[in-house]
C-alpha cells in the first residue's frame, strides 16, 4: 500500500474549507528584530490565531473531512496544550463531541481553556505515552476518531495553509523558519512553499532538549531520542511521525537547535519591543534567527510564531530574568545591625542612587544569620548597567556588607 502524500492541491483545498473559520493571521516586519538578526525579518503571527496557535487549522480540516456517521461518534485527542484546544474548538464548531486526554501534570489554565472550548477532559498519565495510550483506548472503545497531532496527511494539509498565507502576503520571501515538534507544521508549510517556489529555503527549529526531528534529519534514521527538560513544551516530541519525517527529509533544507536561554531572550524581546506574547515553542523560530543559527544575512526571512499560550508563571520568570540580564532588575542581600534605623539607612542609600525598590525581605532568625544582625534582601529596579554600577558603588561607599544574587 502506497504511503499517503500531501500536495499543494491538498493544502489549497484545506484553505478553502478554513476560509472564514481560521484567521488569516498577520505577517509583520520588525525593524528592531531585523537589525538584530541582520536580515529583513517578518513574523507570521499564529499566536493571534483562534485558540492561540496554528493547531486549529489542521484539527478543523481533519474533522471536516469525516463522514456524518464518524462525526456522530465524536473525536478523541491526546495533548497537554495547543492540540487539545485546537481539536476542542474545531469539534465544537463542527457540532461534534470531543474527548481530550491530558496528562495529570497539565497546566490548570490549559485544562480550563480546553473545557471552555467544549471538550470532555480526561486527566490521565504521569508521562505523555500513558496519556496517548488512554486516548487511543477511548477512541477504540467509543468508536470515536483519533485526531493525531501531526502524523496525518489531512492535519498536515491544514497546517500548510500557514505557508500559503505567508507567500500570498510576501511573495518574495527567500527563507521560512518554522518551529518543529512532531513535524506537522513544517511538513505542511514546506509542501506549499516549495511547490510555489522551489528555490525558497525552509529551516526547522527544535529545542536542544528535544532534538527528535533534528537527529532524524541529520542521521537519516527515525528513532526516539533521550529528552531533557525544556520550557518549550509545545515542541517537546521524542520522535516525529513517519510521514512528517519523510516530507521533512525531502523538502526541508536544514534543522537547527536553540537553547531555553535563546528562547527566553526571544520571548522577552518580542514582548518588550513588539508587544507580542509568544509561548516558548512559538518563539523558537525567532530565537534561531536572533541567535545566528539561521544564516539569512540580508535576505527576506519570515519566522512562524506558532503559538501564544504561555503559562503566566513561566512568562513572569522569563520577564524577571530578562530584566536581570539587561541590568534593569537587581537582587541584593545586605547584612545589617539589628537596631532601629539600620534599614532606613540602607533605603536612603538606595533612594539617593535613584533606584526603585520592588520588594524588601528581612530575616533575623535564619540559621546563617548571626545574633545581633539581620539580613535584608532587596529587589531593585535599575535603568541599565551603568546605573547598577552606581548603586553598587554607593553600597560600598556606605560600608555595607552586600552580595549580589544571581
At which residue does the C-alpha cell 531585523 appear? 34
Using DSSP, state whether 43 is helix, strand or coil: strand
Which among 264, 205, 203, 254 is positioned nearest to 230, based on CA atoms? Answer: 264
Single out the catalytic residue among 98, 285, 306, 355: 306
Asked whether the beta carbons of 212 and 225 are under 8 A apart, the reply is yes
Q: 3-state DSSP: the chain helix, strand, coil percent, rounded to 5?
A: 45, 20, 35
Q: Give the DSSP H or E segment for 242.
A: helix 242-251
The answer to whether 306 is a known catalytic residue is yes
State the Cα–Cα distance between residues 281 and 205, nearest whole angstrom. 9
Q: What angle do CA 348, 351, 355 make, to 5 degrees?
A: 140
State the Cα–Cα distance between residues 50 and 266, nearest whole angstrom. 22
Q: Give the DSSP H or E segment for 152.
A: none
Asked whether the beta carbons of 58 and 154 are under 8 A apart, the reply is yes
Cell numbers for 330, please give them.
Answer: 537587581
Single out the catalytic residue among 44, 55, 110, 194: 55
Which among 229, 199, 200, 224 is positioned nearest to 212, based on CA atoms? Answer: 224
First and final C-alpha spacing in the chain: 59
The answer to whether 259 is a known catalytic residue is no
- Active-site residues, by number, are 55, 306
Amino acid at each position: 500500500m502506497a504511503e499517503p502524500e500531501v500536495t499543494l492541491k491538498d493544502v489549497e483545498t484545506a484553505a478553502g474549507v478554513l476560509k472564514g473559520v481560521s484567521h488569516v493571521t498577520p505577517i509583520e516586519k520588525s525593524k528592531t528584530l531585523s537589525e538584530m538578526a541582520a536580515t529583513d525579518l517578518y513574523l507570521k503571527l499564529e499566536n493571534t490565531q483562534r485558540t492561540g496557535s496554528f493547531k486549529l487549522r489542521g484539527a478543523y480540516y481533519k474533522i471536516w473531512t469525516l463522514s456524518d456517521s464518524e462525526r456522530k461518534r465524536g473525536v478523541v485527542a491526546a495533548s497537554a496544550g495547543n492540540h487539545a484546544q485546537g481539536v476542542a474548538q474545531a469539534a465544537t464548531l463542527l457540532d461534534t463531541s470531543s474527548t481530550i486526554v491530558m496528562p495529570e501534570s497539565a497546566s490548570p489554565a490549559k485544562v480550563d481553556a480546553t473545557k471552555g472550548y467544549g471538550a470532555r477532559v480526561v486527566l490521565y498519565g504521569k508521562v505523555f505515552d500513558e496519556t496517548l495510550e488512554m486516548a487511543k483506548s477511548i477512541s477504540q472503545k467509543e468508536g470515536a476518531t483519533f485526531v493525531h497531532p501531526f502524523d496525518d496527511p489531512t492535519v498536515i494539509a491544514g497546517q500548510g495553509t500557514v505557508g500559503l498565507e505567508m507567500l500570498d502576503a510576501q511573495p518574495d520571501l527567500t527563507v521560512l523558519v518554522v518551529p518543529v515538534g512532531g513535524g506537522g507544521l513544517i511538513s505542511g508549510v514546506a509542501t506549499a512553499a516549495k511547490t510555489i517556489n522551489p528555490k525558497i529555503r525552509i529551516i526547522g527549529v527544535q529545542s536542544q532538549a528535544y532534538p527528535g526531528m533534528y537527529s532524524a534529519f541529520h542521521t537519516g534514521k527515525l528513532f526516539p531520542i533521550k529528552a531533557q527538560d525544556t520550557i518549550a513544551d509545545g515542541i517537546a516530541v521524542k520522535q516525529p511521525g513517519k510521514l512528517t519525517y519523510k516530507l521533512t527529509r525531502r523538502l526541508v533544507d536544514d534543522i537547527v537547535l536553540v537553547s531555553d536561554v535563546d528562547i527566553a531572550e526571544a520571548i522577552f524581546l518580542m514582548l518588550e519591543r513588539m508587544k507580542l506574547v509568544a509561548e516558548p515553542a512559538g518563539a523558537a523560530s525567532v530565537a534561531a534567527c536572533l541567535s545566528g543559527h539561521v544564516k539569512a544575512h540580508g535576505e527576506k526571512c519570515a519566522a512562524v510564531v506558532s503559538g501564544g499560550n504561555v503559562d503566566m508563571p513561566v512568562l513572569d520568570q522569563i520577564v524577571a530574568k530578562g530584566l536581570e540580564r539587561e541590568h534593569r532588575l537587581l537582587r541584593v542581600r545586605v547584612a545589617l545591625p539589628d537596631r532601629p534605623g539600620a534599614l532606613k539607612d540602607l533605603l536612603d542609600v538606595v533612594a539617593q542612587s535613584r533606584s526603585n525598590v520592588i520588594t524588601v525581605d528581612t530575616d533575623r532568625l535564619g540559621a546563617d544569620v548571626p545574633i545581633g544582625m539581620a539580613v535584608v534582601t532587596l529587589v531593585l529596579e535599575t535603568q541599565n548597567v551603568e546605573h547598577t554600577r552606581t548603586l553598587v558603588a554607593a553600597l560600598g561607599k556606605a560600608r555595607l556588607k552586600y552580595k549580589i544574587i544571581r
